[in-house]
Chain A
Amino acid sequence: MTLAERTDVEPGVAPSTHPARRRGSRTARPWLLLAPALLVMGGLLLYPLFRVLVLSLQDFGLRELVSGRTHWVGLGNYAELLGSADLWTTVLPNTVVFAVVAVALTVVFGTIVALLLARLTPVVRGVVTTAIMVAWAMPAVTGTYVWVFAFAPGDGVAVQALDALGLVDAATADPFAGRLSFYAVAALNVVHHGFPFVALTVLAGLLTIPRELTEASIVDGAGPWRRFRSLTFPMLRPVFAVVTVLSTIWDFKVFTQIYLMPGGDGVNRGVLTLGTWSYVESFAQNRYGLGAAIAVLLTALLLVVTVAYLRLLFREEEL
């Protein structure tokens, strides 16, 4: 939302790059002011990150935990991970496809809801916003159980409804058995849980677009789609960047929503994602070194994805 406000700032003219401020005595000041925050972040973020990196080079199990011995294996954990056939044939494809689909659906649906909200009167908007906030506020565990309940084979509400429409046979259909249907339910859950954030963030952006611009474009004869493409989207690009990057990070490492679905905890090997796979391979087996290696790889992967996204959305100089 802070980025939304930034849209009226001329891009590329960040105050800190002003040449007049480049004098030696002044360069220390920002760092001094940042020091407390950096210290806290260093302690709370960088040190654990460093520990994870160190741990990923060890064979670390319960035995090592109790005895305090360390058993270095170099890049052994990484070799084991990258050499795993499951990773390339199921886990990674599942994760990537699911994340792409879920992010696309979340952002598109969230944007549509935001455009709808922007047209409402403030009172009605308040009511609708409150309603969708409930979906966002619902803990992932609760939400997942509700969806699982709705799709429970046999007597789930959704299964019964599909049966009434003649699409499936409620007596034999199991939405959690097939890979596609499993992920359809998971995507429904994840999108339902994720779209309110997108909707509210985009709405905040929409409200900052000066009315004159919209009116001018209408006078120029632009239809709704054209207005969105040529006016709204370019103006809200930073907002879309934020919601897309955040949604990607969330959907890439989705765990709860998959793990709690029937078969999602490793029983149905066809539906493992990076999140559940790493849990099953490392923590469920007390192999913390391997788990750390997975965490490092996932972080690296997400960094790459994030940077790629940002480059795609902004011109170089805007970054």
Chain B
Amino acid sequence: MWSMPGSRTARRGGVRRSAVAVAAVAALGLAGCGQGDDAGAGADRTLTVWIMEGTNPDAQPFFSELSTAFRQRTGAMLDVQFVQWASAHDKFVTAIAGGTTPDVAEIGTTWVGEFGDAGALVDLTPRVQEAGLSDGLVDGLVEAGTLGGSLYGMPWYAGVRSIVYRTDVFTELGLQPPTTWDELVAVGQRIKEARPDLLPLPIAGDNEFVVYPFVWGAGGQLATQNGDTWTSGIDSPQARAGIRFYADLALEHGFSTPAAATWRETDVRDSFTKGQSAMIFAGSWTPKAILEAAPDLQGKIGACPIPGPTGGLAPSVLGGSLLSIFNTSEDQDLAWQLVQMMGTGEFAAKWAQESSYFPGTTALLNEAAQSPDPLVAPFARQMVDSGRSVPVTPAFGQIQGKKTIAAMMHSILTGEATVEQATSTAAAEMNEIFASGA
């Protein structure tokens, strides 16, 4: 939690002389005066940085190294604070309300547009252009961070969802990773017949990010923009076909379990680590966690991209984080130096490698895509070839907050509604939010 003194100082800017001086000034209540001109010597400046906890299981060494390097380069100190993903959104919002935002923060792809739209973030477009980075950033992340032509964050890292499967089961049954939707069904059916103890492919109700590859794969759109207005595309014939195929993996083909209607992504992963599932839709960051949770699966898991209906790859949601500078930061040049240092070159590569995500610059991503690791390469392929962003509008954040798509899948998977009914309801809900947000 933030104490009162903290909020006073940060409202006036994140560049501080020293924590002690700041606390003393605030404690005396001299919020409006007392501190001298900060712009001078770099030696006693400090940047506050918020980083999401858990992305990199052991982030301390990385940040102490970064702090040292940053001090050598600029003379400024870093105050790195870790924030839980689960409470991060609330924390950002309260910080924005109270003027206690950090100088630099890691912000999830789906939040950048929202905070940027609210006017809390610095438009980085000119700085990115000046640094000659415009063409070297991963498209999906740039797309996620761009609102109204302004880029509100520097792509930092990203991940994508593909399929993780049990190689031992595939070898035993002589199966190959599916490359079309028909093959996906055939593989699942073979597993269902030969290994009734396994769920061929559990379909989670509460995981919108796996619905999208099938909507996009079938040629549908989540929403389309026409000028300033957005319209839901979830009830289009193509989108419906994709959603029906996805739902039928559970309903018609029985690859899932009825309980999965309320499952989240973590439940799907648990079923895999418990050895109950043969294939799962999973993120590029999960194989490491799976092997940590179930060491006996070592050497028994593989990955393959989510295929398109008749070949190729289905577009998959590219999720990750960008590095943003808050408007309240007093020394935005210094903050940009840090963002550049973290987002490019050595530190970007190191972070991606340690966190088992992919870096946000194309040069580094292409390097990672060359990886021979069978648990990295398929994800890299999916991300480079078909990584895509969800619609970038604050209204889509609202739709996610309302769990519109998850509620739609839940009602389809439990049989409460047909695909037609559920998609119509969802589309109406989306359009209502689009209309009120404009």
Residues in A lying within 8 Å of B, measured CB to CB? 61-63, 65-67, 153-154, 171-174, 176-177, 262-263, 265-270, 280-281, 283-287
B398 touches A268 (CB 8 A): no
A174 touches B93 (CB 8 A): no
- Min CB–CB distance A172 → chain B (angstroms): 5
Residues in B lying within 8 Å of A, measured CB to CB? 93, 96-97, 114-115, 117-120, 205-206, 257-259, 261-264, 394, 397-398, 401-403, 406-407, 410-411, 414, 416, 433
Out of B118, B257, B262, B397, name the residue touching A263 (CB < 8 Å): B262
**For residue B433, which residues in chain A have a CB less than 8 angstroms away from its CB?**
285
- Min CB–CB distance A102 → chain B (angstroms): 21
B402 touches A281 (CB 8 A): yes
A266-B403, A286-B398 known, 12 other contacts, Cβ within 8 Å = A63-B118, A153-B257, A172-B257, A174-B262, A176-B262, A262-B262, A267-B262, A267-B407, A269-B410, A285-B402, A286-B93, A286-B397
B258 touches A62 (CB 8 A): no
**For residue A65, which residues in chain B have a CB less than 8 angstroms away from its CB?**
93, 96-97, 118
B258 touches A177 (CB 8 A): yes
- Min CB–CB distance A268 → chain B (angstroms): 6
- How far is A154 from B276 in the complex, measured between Cα atoms in Å? 11
A262 touches B263 (CB 8 A): yes
- How far is A61 from B437 in the complex, measured between Cα atoms in Å? 10
Out of B205, B258, B263, B401, name the residue touching A280 (CB < 8 Å): B401
- With A62-B394, A177-B414 as contacts: A266 and B258 at CB distance below 8 Å: no
**For residue B416, which residues in chain A have a CB less than 8 angstroms away from its CB?**
270
For A262, A267, A286, the residue with the greatest tally of chain B CB atoms inside 10 Å of its CB is A267
- How far is A263 from B263 in the complex, measured between Cα atoms in Å? 8
**For residue B410, which residues in chain A have a CB less than 8 angstroms away from its CB?**
263, 267-269
Determine the main DSSP class of A at the interface with B. loop
- How far is A270 from B417 in the complex, measured between Cα atoms in Å? 12
- How far is A214 from B316 in the complex, measured between Cα atoms in Å? 73
Q: Which residue of chain A has its CB nearest to the CB of B98? A: A65
Out of A63, A176, A266, name the residue touching B117 (CB < 8 Å): A63
**For residue B407, which residues in chain A have a CB less than 8 angstroms away from its CB?**
266-269
**For residue A172, which residues in chain B have a CB less than 8 angstroms away from its CB?**
257-259
- How far is A160 from B262 in the complex, measured between Cα atoms in Å? 19
- How far is A153 from B261 in the complex, measured between Cα atoms in Å? 11
**For residue B118, which residues in chain A have a CB less than 8 angstroms away from its CB?**
61-63, 65-66
- How far is A289 from B35 in the complex, measured between Cα atoms in Å? 37
**For residue A177, which residues in chain B have a CB less than 8 angstroms away from its CB?**
258-259, 261-262, 414
B403 touches A265 (CB 8 A): yes
Q: Which residue of chain B has its CB nearest to the CB of A170? A: B259
- Min CB–CB distance A147 → chain B (angstroms): 14
- How far is A285 from B401 in the complex, measured between Cα atoms in Å? 5
- With A63-B118, A65-B93, A267-B205 as contacts: A174 and B261 at CB distance below 8 Å: yes
Q: Which residue of chain A has its CB nearest to the CB of B413? A: A177
**For residue B206, which residues in chain A have a CB less than 8 angstroms away from its CB?**
262-263, 267
Out of B114, B257, B403, name the residue touching A286 (CB < 8 Å): B114
Out of A67, A153, A269, name the residue touching B119 (CB < 8 Å): A67
**For residue B414, which residues in chain A have a CB less than 8 angstroms away from its CB?**
177
- How far is A154 from B401 in the complex, measured between Cα atoms in Å? 29
B119 touches A280 (CB 8 A): no
- Min CB–CB distance A173 → chain B (angstroms): 8
- Can you offer 6 A-B residue contacts whose CB atoms are under 8 A? A154-B257, A177-B259, A262-B262, A267-B205, A270-B416, A285-B398
- Min CB–CB distance B339 → chain A (angstroms): 21
- How far is A174 from B406 in the complex, measured between Cα atoms in Å? 17
- Min CB–CB distance B48 → chain A (angstroms): 18
- Min CB–CB distance A252 → chain B (angstroms): 23
